[in-house]
Structure 1
Amino acid sequence: MIPGKTIPPEANMELILIRHGSTLWNEERRIQGLSDINLSDTGLDQARHLALSLKDHPISSIYSSPLIRARKTAEIINQYHQVPLYLSTDLTEMNHGDFEGLSIPELMARNKDFLRKWLADPASVSMPHGESFLDVQTRAWKVIEGIFPKGENVIVVAHNFTIASILCRIQNIPLTEFRSVCVDPASKTIIRFHHGSAYLELFNDRAYLNGNQR
């Protein structure tokens, strides 16, 4: 059980957090952020397997980032459910500003000093011409707060930093420790809410990609 200080006592629902399938930039280890990169062939295949693993799960609605990699993943999942699909810019990935498009090695080589500052205080240090991690958490949590009163089982399709920020809020984890809740492409994380408490039932699961559905 997770002590959910920010969870209303009337919250009784299941939240399934999905990170979009892989893109070429994921595979090239490039910073995507708000760059609107489509799913790769691998990502499309991942999304289809993910959708199949969720086809019998009772779902009332799906919320998604409007970026095409997330939206396409959500649409593939929804082929089995045909429920309302809501797009929200509050679920987009962190705006990485000047770092968009850089490879991870390029980022590390050129910006070590900045990255040290950001990792030490991601809540208040913003990416150059971009956002802070707290900015991401603030907007993403507005979506989750809007879901709680409905009491419905919901899928949220979003991005690595967006999902990590939500999990930090649910589990009362400082943003400086966000790496403990980062998730992989095409993964699912399931949280059950009951009377103001949260139960993490599944984290960063991709077993279905190997034909081992749980």
Structure 2
Amino acid sequence: MSLLYLVRHGETNHNAEERGLGRADVPLSPRGRLQAELLAARFARVPIDAVLSSPLQRALAIARAIADHHALAVDVRPELTELDVGETEGLTYAEIRERFPDFYRAWTGDDPAAVPMPGGESLADLARRLEPLAAELLAGPDRVAVIASHNFTLRVLVCQLLGIPVASFRNFRLDLASVTTISIQHGRAAIQALNDVCHLEEPLNLAAPARSVST
């Protein structure tokens, strides 16, 4: 059996200000760096065979912090980069609604997967780039792996691993610095834990990280 720990990166200033965040390579905020330390401490005694990461520094910083405890190299995967949010990068929710009303209506409608971000990707585009990785994880040899990535990317990857429609991404949330655990046995995935933030709650009172359009 394989175990996958899907780790969403910690807070950035964009997250704290509730601004859209896709491919902008912004660093972790001071709070985010503390979250990275807590994540690394959580995994320090967990047997891990591999650490995969988005190339963006906010995810890579956490991946490296975890990998260092196990003397592992980080396997940087470009397909784990966040959704390209195009012209909504850095905008607040109010600014997105004002500047792109047609997009916002479609995005909040019944079929968000097919709706491209203005000048960027759709969730369907993201799903296509993640398909080879999902297939690799489902069919690969048994191992324990940490996968450090982003909000939309991880939610779409969960949908693919479970074999459910991409539009189901709205049925669950993955908070900043959260861990979602998925087991894979005989090519079938099952959720062991979803959006776990227990490692954040007591040490630094970080249980309620800011929302973000995308991370």
Q: 1:70: Cα distance to partner?
A: 0.5
| Aligned-partner Cα distance in 1 for 2:131–2:44 | 26
Deviates more, 1:144-153 or 1:128-137: 144-153
Q: 1:81: Cα distance to partner?
A: 1.3
Counterpart of 1:16 (choices 5, 12, 29) is 5
Question: Which residue does the alignment assign to 1:6?
Answer: none
The alignment yields a C-alpha RMSD, in angstroms, of: 1.6
Question: Identity percentage over the alignment?
Answer: 36
Query: What aligned pairs does 1:180-191 form with structure 2 within 5 A after superposition?
Result: 180-191=171-182
Task: Please tell me whether residue 197 in structure 1 is matched to residue 199 in structure 2.
Answer: no
TM-score (norm 2): 0.88
Counterpart of 1:209 (choices 176, 200, 204) is 200
| Aligned-partner Cα distance in 1 for 2:161–2:134 | 10
Task: Please tell me whether residue 56 in structure 1 is matched to residue 57 in structure 2.
Answer: no
Instruction: Give the 3-state SS of the residue equivalent to 1:202 in structure 2.
Output: strand
Amino acid aligned to 2:16: E
Task: Please tell me whether residue 153 in structure 1 is matched to residue 144 in structure 2.
Answer: yes
Question: Which residue does the alignment assign to 1:139?
Answer: 129
Counterpart of 1:129 (choices 119, 133, 154) is 119
| Structure 2: stretches of 5+ with no match in the other structure | 204-215
- CA deviation vs aligned residue, 1:136-164 (integer Å, no higher than 9, x gap): 12212322323342321111100000001
Amino acid aligned to 1:110: R
Check whether the contact 2:3–2:143 (CA below 8 A) recurs between aligned residues: yes
Q: 1:171: Cα distance to partner?
A: 2.5
Number of residue-to-residue matches in the alignment: 201
Q: 1:118: Cα distance to partner?
A: 2.6
| Aligned-partner Cα distance in 2 for 1:137–1:196 | 19
Check whether the contact 2:134–2:161 (CA below 8 A) recurs between aligned residues: no
Check whether the contact 1:168–1:181 (CA below 8 A) recurs between aligned residues: no
- CA deviation vs aligned residue, 1:78-107 (integer Å, no higher than 9, x gap): 121122311111000000111111012211
Q: 1:58: Cα distance to partner?
A: 1.2
Query: What aligned pairs does 1:36-185 form with structure 2 within 5 A after superposition?
Result: 36-119=25-108, 120-147=110-137, 148-185=139-176
